[in-house]
């Protein structure tokens, strides 16, 4: 009797265990596999992110242009202002292409961080009031401006008017990274006014391209140079690494220097405040999807932050933008 009871109990326990195991695994998704990154796919994703931000407007050169974007920026170009590539007055139809970026999420996916070139030629993080790219084309040919044009950016997207803001030109290097060079006051290339009545940054210019309203970020704490190491297979051709400072939604710094021997991203001289809380944002590619990792850290002197393979997940573009923009 005892033996039979024990046998029946063992069978019952095994059955319960099997059922529990089956219930636990039924319908469960396996952990996603992150594929090795493709440089071509990564560049295509960045290009598509920028294309998705581009607004277009056809107009007649003889009529000029007065266009307000979906986010409230206003572009005004006088009639018969545009010039062709030979410098002659352009005629006929033209197309405006305009990109405006105010948030860190879109800065990441389009690779448009806010790093300004200081008086020593070094890059430092900027606080932005909005950046834009203005291009006018006829077919596949770009037109230039033969007069002063104006752009107004709503300050509401970046927390209101900041009277310390300056105007900057964008410079894109051979690796596709963007840095910003301040336009000096009195420069004939462009200027900036604060419009308190309309709460806008009013910009005038004579050359199209990337432009930004910014000021240098200021923090009195000692600074340090940091490193961000990556798993095997990731490098500056297929990965971007950015820093989202805590409580600074209008600032996105970039680590743009890759050490191929040590397999880490860093920067040139050390601009990160010791004691700063920030998020390290890693972005790459996996089988055509965005691959990313976000790590919150508090910066110590000579900090080394490790991105491990298990830290990396995939995301849609909009999901990643939302995650980054929700960082505190």
Give the whole-angstrom CA distance, residue 213 versus residue 157.
12
CATH no., domain 39-216: 2.60.220.30
Range 223-325 classified under CATH 2.60.40: yes
Give the whole-angstrom CA distance, residue 200 versus residue 71.
12
Sheet holding 149-154, edge to edge: 65-68, 74-77, 149-154, 200-205, 190-195
Give the whole-angstrom CA distance, residue 51 versus residue 317.
13
Angle at 9 between CA 8 and CA 15, to 5 degrees: 90
One DSSP character per residue, 147-158 reads S-EEEEEEGGGG
Question: Which sequence spans correspond to the domains of the chain?
Answer: 39-216, 223-325
The phi and psi torsions of 270 (rounded to 5 degrees) equal: 100, 95
Give the whole-angstrom CA distance, residue 249 versus residue 308.
26
- Token pair recorded at residue 204: 């005038």
Q: 316: which residues sit within 8 A by CB, 6+ positions away? A: 289, 290
Say if residues 177 and 191 touch (Cβ distance below 8 Å). Answer: no
- Token pair recorded at residue 288: 């055509």
- The pLDDT tens digits along the chain (328 residues) read 444 444 453 434 334 343 333 333 333 334 468 999 999 999 999 999 999 999 999 999 999 999 999 999 999 999 999 999 999 999 999 999 999 999 999 999 999 999 999 999 999 999 999 999 999 999 999 999 999 999 999 999 999 999 999 999 999 998 889 999 999 887 778 999 999 988 999 999 999 999 999 999 999 999 999 999 999 999 999 999 999 999 999 999 999 999 999 999 999 889 999 999 999 999 999 999 999 999 999 999 999 999 999 999 999 999 999 999 999 8
Q: Please choose, from the candidates 118, 256, 241, the residue with its C-alpha nearest in 3D space to the C-alpha of residue 178.
A: 256
Give the whole-angstrom CA distance, residue 320 versus residue 21.
34
Say if residues 199 and 156 touch (Cβ distance below 8 Å). Answer: yes
3-state SS assignment for residue 302? coil
Q: Are β-strands 149-154 and 74-77 bridged in parallel, bridged antiparallel, or unpaired? A: antiparallel
**pLDDT recorded at residue 74:** 98
3-state SS assignment for residue 130? strand
Q: Are β-strands 227-229 and 304-306 bridged in parallel, bridged antiparallel, or unpaired? A: parallel
pTM above 0.85, yes or no: yes
**pLDDT recorded at residue 174:** 86
Q: Please choose, from the candidates 152, 51, 63, the residue with its C-alpha nearest in 3D space to the C-alpha of residue 97.
A: 51
Let me know how long the chain is: 328
**pLDDT recorded at residue 186:** 75
Give the whole-angstrom CA distance, residue 98 versus residue 104.
18
- For residue 168, the number of C-alpha atoms closer than 13 Å in the C-beta half-sphere is 28
């Amino acid at each position: 009797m005892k033996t039979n009871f024990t046998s029946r109990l063992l069978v019952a326990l095994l059955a319960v265990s099997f059922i529990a195991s089956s219930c636990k695994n039924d319908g469960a998704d396996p952990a996603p596999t992150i594929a090795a990154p493709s440089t071509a796919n990564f560049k295509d994703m960045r290009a598509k992110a920028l294309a998705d931000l581009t607004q277009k407007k056809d107009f007649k050169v003889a009529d000029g242009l007065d266009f307000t974007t979906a986010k409230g920026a206003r572009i005004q170009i006088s009639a018969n202002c545009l010039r062709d590539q030979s410098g002659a007055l352009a005629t006929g139809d033209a197309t405006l292409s305009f990109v405006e970026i105010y948030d860190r999420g879109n800065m990441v996916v389009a690779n448009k961080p806010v790093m300004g070139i200081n008086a020593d030629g070094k890059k430092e993080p900027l606080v932005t009031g909005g950046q834009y790219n203005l291009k006018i084309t006829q077919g596949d040919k770009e037109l230039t401006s033969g007069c002063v044009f104006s752009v107004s950016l709503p300050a509401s997207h970046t927390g209101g008017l900041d009277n310390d803001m300056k105007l900057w030109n964008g410079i894109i290097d051979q690796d596709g990274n963007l840095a910003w060079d301040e336009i000096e006051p009195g420069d004939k290339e462009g200027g900036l006014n604060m419009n308190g009545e309309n709460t806008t940054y009013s910009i005038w210019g004579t050359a199209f391209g990337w432009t930004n309203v910014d000021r240098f970020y200021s923090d009195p704490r000692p600074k340090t140079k940091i490193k961000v190491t990556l798993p095997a297979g990731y490098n500056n051709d297929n990965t971007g690494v950015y820093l989202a400072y805590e409580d600074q939604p209008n600032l996105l710094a970039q680590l743009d220097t890759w050490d191929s021997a040590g397999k880490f991203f860093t920067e040139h001289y050390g601009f990160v405040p010791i004691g700063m809380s920030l998020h390290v944002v890693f972005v790459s590619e996996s089988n055509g999807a965005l691959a990313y990792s976000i790590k919150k850290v508090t910066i110590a002197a000579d900090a080394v932050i490790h991105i491990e393979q298990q830290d990396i997940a995939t995301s849609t573009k909009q999901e990643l933008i939302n995650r980054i923009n929700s960082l505190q």
